[in-house]
Amino acid sequence: MNSPKKPDKLRPERPYSTVQHDHDNNLSQTLSTALDKAVLRLKTDLRLAIVTLFAFVSIVLITPFVVFRFVVGDVLIGFIDLLIVASFAAALIHGWYSGNSAVAGNATAFLAVIATVFVVYVLELDHSWAFAALSACFVLARLSTAIILSGSLITLLAVRPGLFESFVDLTTFIVVAMMISLFGLIYSSRVDSQHQRLKELAVRDSLTGAMNRRAMDLRLAMEVEKFRKSPGPVSVAMLDLDRFKRLNDRHGHEAGDKVLIELARIIRENTRTGDWFFRYGGEEFVLVMPDTDLNGLDVALPNLRRLIEENLKAPDGQAVTVSIGGAELASGESWTDWLIRADQALFAAKKAGRNRVELSPKPEDEGSR
């Protein structure tokens, strides 16, 4: 009697646990990257960090009152409290999604004032919340907006009938509120000026005054994100001084530094206000040019190259020239790939003899040939 035939061995498959492990790793890496980006934004945008903290704390503190109102049957007040919570959440989401933390800060400060007026006028509670709202105005909003909001809040509470038992109480409130507003104004203006100075130092190249490599990475990433949401022409150009090492060897590094400073001045004076100028490293510079396609580059870059050749001189009077490579951002392209194409165009300009401009065709244009 023949023994039953054993089924053919199936081809070994990848264990499910391994696939699941890879999936978990990918998810973990994605979450880690997103968290790193969020932390970086909070570190580089002080107002967004303050808006995030204030809105989060406000939502956490007000939400229990929303639940309580609905539980005891005070539906109307519960809905108003819920609207305030939703408004804080909306301002927070807008600040993160749009990148416009100034608008988010103004909106959050306005909501804080509205919430305080609601507490005093509708719930007929004590005016103590006003002091927190006044402080919030100067921390969250721009100075001009904070002054308007704080003045409006003080006025609205001062004219509220029956809120203060005597003229002395009213006067005390006004004086204390104005002192808090004044201290808030001084503190906020001081913090803003110091933060702006530190921000400038963090993103500027100390020698040339151009923005540095870190600022360039952020700007390129922002331009790619903006292009993804609302496509429009934007280009990048890489500029490299020709035979700069020879100039340094012949005239010294101090002369080389002066040439770099003068080059930066020429570029700033002959580019648009909306263009972004960076020092990439050494004698290499980068221009990010919004609203500029390849045709625009073909006009602007040769003209810039000519101006540099005519105006940039070595200590012995010899003209100092640059080679330039340009690339327009293509659909679906990362900022690193975009910059690499500009760098390749720069290399082509160097290889073709220096002191010239080369442009990289868009990938989709190459594919259509």
Count up the domains in the chain and report the number: 2
Active site residues: 283
Q: What confidence score (pLDDT) does residue 9 get?
A: 46
Backbone angles phi, psi at 298, to 5 degrees: -65, -20
Query: What pLDDT sits at residue 43?
Result: 74
| Residue 25, pLDDT score | 59
User: Tokens at residue 187, please?
Assistant: 């503190």
Q: Is 230 exposed, middle or buried (0-12, 13-18, 19+ CB in 10 A)?
A: exposed
Residue 289 has φ and ψ, to the nearest 5°, of -125, 95
Whether residue 72 lies inside any domain: the answer is yes
pLDDT of 10-20, one tens digit each?
Answer: 444 555 454 45
- Separation in Å, CA 107 to CA 98, 100, 156, 240: 13, 11, 19, 45
Same domain assignment for residues 182 and 59? yes
Whole-prediction pTM value? 0.56
Please indicate, yes or no, if residue 321 is contained in any of the structural domains.
yes
Q: Measure the CA angle with vertex 20, ends 17 and 25; round to 5°.
A: 125
The answer to whether residue 2 is domain-embedded is no
Angle formed at CA 236 by CA 234 and CA 242, multiple of 5 degrees: 160
Q: Are residues 120 and 269 in the same domain?
A: no
- 248 exposure class (CB count in 10 Å sphere: 0-12, 13-18, 19+): middle
Domain boundary among 175, 202, 229: 202
* Of 183, 202, 221, the domain-final residue: 202
pLDDT, residue 19, reads 47
Neighbour-count burial of 350, counting CB atoms closer than 10 A to its CB (0-12 exposed, 13-18 middle, 19+ buried): middle
270 and 303 belong to one structural domain: yes
Structural domain including 153 reads 20-202
State pLDDT tens for residues 54-73: 889 889 988 998 999 899 98
Residues 117 and 262 reside in one and the same domain = no
Nearest to 262 by CA among 224, 227, 311: 311
Q: Residue 255 domain-assigned? A: yes
Instruction: Looking at the structure, tell me whether residues 149 and 87 fall in a common domain.
Output: yes
Domain-embedded: residue 159: yes
CA 345 to chain centre: 29
User: Do 223 and 179 have their domain in common?
Assistant: no
Report d(CA 266, CA 322) in Å as an integer.
12
Are 194 and 283 in a shared domain? no
The number of CA neighbours under 13 Å toward the Cβ of 350 is: 14
Residues found in the chain = 369
In a domain, 11, yes or no: no
Query: Residue 257 domain-assigned?
Result: yes
Structure confidence at residue 296 (pLDDT): 96
The list of the chain residues with pLDDT below 70 reads 1-32, 364-369
Assess whether 49 and 193 both reside in one domain.
Answer: yes
Is residue 9 in some structural domain? no
Are 171 and 223 within one domain?
no
